Amino acid sequence: MSSSITVQSDQVLERVLSIEIVRVTERAAVSAARLRGHGRDKASDQAAVDAMRRELNKLPIDGTVVIGEGEIDEAPMLFIGEKVGNKHGARVDIAVDPLEGTVLCAKNMPGAIATIAMADAGTLLHAPDCYMEKIAIGPGYPKGTIDLDAPADENIMNLAKAKGVKPSEITAILLDRPRHTHAIELIRKTGAAVSLISDGDVAGVIHCAEPKTGIDIYLGIGGAPEGVLAAAALRCIGGQMQCRLVIDSEELRERTKKMGIKDPKKKYEIEDMVRGDCLFAATGVTTGAMLNGVKFSKNLIETETVVMRSVTGTVRRIVAEHRQLDKFHLD
């Protein structure tokens, strides 16, 4: 062989997939964006699901959806356990949220995205569709700077110390929910700023690792599926995150057990939720702090996608101009 570069075939596939998955989120985002501001959250979600499934099935993978639209009886498509891909390729676990922020899209508010994570089979946490306690910060802090079990104010103080700033120079992001009233009070007492979001905590967590957002820490309870997706992103770009499932009923306890989770009270670190290398991608549906939304103009659709790869820590931002509009099923 004359070439001095030897790349294993599975690595080639993984590198190719890191571009291929962009198409998956692009198509889902465009389909959802057609219904932006129409007040029809279910319809926009369905449009994103259909498009994402269609594109996933074209990929050279033998994939299993482990985080999806719910269980088979409640979700006809992209349900947990559904097989996707053309079967001629690597066995992978897939986590999807075809439209993260359905209400944001329905109301045409900032921050709706189409998102996916992919990893070797058996390496993503199979989390039920329940709530999850979460805490996250960006990269560059000593391990142990945050602790899910410490009160919110203590976490702010420790983070401020690690960052070398006053607590008043810290900004925390939380979902705007009554369940966070106490945590918000504690955070504000330290002097820190609180940034409240109505939905979309995958992006909320990722903001902690994006200095331009000015967000330092994510705290609170959000969806478990969104927690695994956010963990995949942080696995690529660095940061710390701790999570715990909120199992608050016997029915959920049973379901969790069936999904193979032995200890429902386990405090998960990123490496427990995403046990190997992964890919993460998100395309903006409506414009937000992380991504521009889909732009429609005459004979042209523009999308912005961020795609991350944990093997190398590469983050690509892909602004695409789509001209073959028939590919987007313009019916």
Out of 20, 100, 216, 304, name the contact with ligand VTB by CB under 6 A: 100
Told to check if 26 binds ligand VTB by CB under 6 A, we report: no
Which range touches ligand VTB (CB under 6 A), out of 180-188, 195-203, 254-262, 314-322? 195-203
Q: Does 223 bind ligand VTB (CB under 6 A)?
A: yes
According to the binding rule CB under 6 A, does residue 275 interact with ligand VTB? Answer: no
Q: Does 201 bind ligand VTB (CB under 6 A)?
A: yes
Question: To the nearest whole angstrom, how small is the minimum distance from the Cβ of residue 222 to ligand VTB?
Answer: 3
Told to check if 200 binds ligand VTB by CB under 6 A, we report yes
Mapped onto helix, strand or coil, the DSSP state of residue 251 is: helix
Query: Of these, 226, 242, 288, 308, which contacts ligand VTB (CB under 6 A)?
Result: 226
Contact status: 177 vs ligand VTB (CB under 6 A): yes
What is the SS3 assignment for 331?
coil
Structure-block tokens of residue 139 = 């990269």
Minimum Å distance from CB 295 to ligand VTB? 22
What is the closest distance, in whole angstroms, from the C-beta atom of residue 261 to ligand VTB in the complex?
19
Q: Where are the alpha helices (DSSP H) in the chain?
A: 9-33, 41-56, 102-106, 152-163, 181-189, 201-207, 224-237, 250-258, 270-273
From the list 31-39, 83-91, 184-192, 198-206, the region that binds ligand VTB by CB under 6 A is: 198-206
**Shortest reach from residue 99's CB to ligand VTB, in Å:** 9
When the beta carbons of 175 and 294 are compared against ligand VTB, the nearer one is: 175
Instruction: Report which residue's Cβ sits closest to ligand VTB.
Output: 223
Question: Which residues 6+ apart lie within 8 Å of 305 measured at CB?
Answer: 22, 25, 26, 29, 281, 282, 283, 284, 291, 317, 318, 320
250/259 Cα distance (integer angstroms):
14
Task: Identify residue 326 by its one-letter amino acid code.
Answer: D
* DSSP states along 28-96: HHHHHHTTTTSS-HHHHHHHHHHHHHHHHTTSSEEEEEEESSS-TTT-SSS-TT-EES-SSSEEEEEEE
Which spans of this chain sit near ligand VTB (rule: CB under 6 A)? 100-101, 175, 177, 199-202, 222-223, 226
